[in-house]
Amino acid sequence: MPKLTIITYKQRRLRYFREQLAHQERRLNYWTQKLTKTNDLGLCWVCEDVGEEVSFYQDVVQMLEEEMRQDWTNNEMEISS
């Protein structure tokens, strides 16, 4: 029998941003490899833009993970009280 698990909004949000981060990291990898192979300096702006997006998603994921850790710690303290 399948097991049902509850997924909270915060978990779904974190999963979404992790997926977006992985996608942007793949894009950055693609463009840096293409830049390396072709030496086309016109591609630098693409790498720069995608790099900024990767940085943005890394920051968001880090903030959401910290928020989830704090929520978990607070809930644990409430239960033990």
pLDDT on residue 36 = 81
- What is the C-alpha to C-alpha distance for residues 1 and 46, in angstroms, rounded to an integer? 48
Per-position pLDDT tens, the chain of length 81 = 788 888 889 999 999 999 999 999 999 999 888 888 887 777 788 889 999 999 999 999 999 999 998 887 776 655 544
Check residue 81 and give its pLDDT. Answer: 43
pTM: 0.79
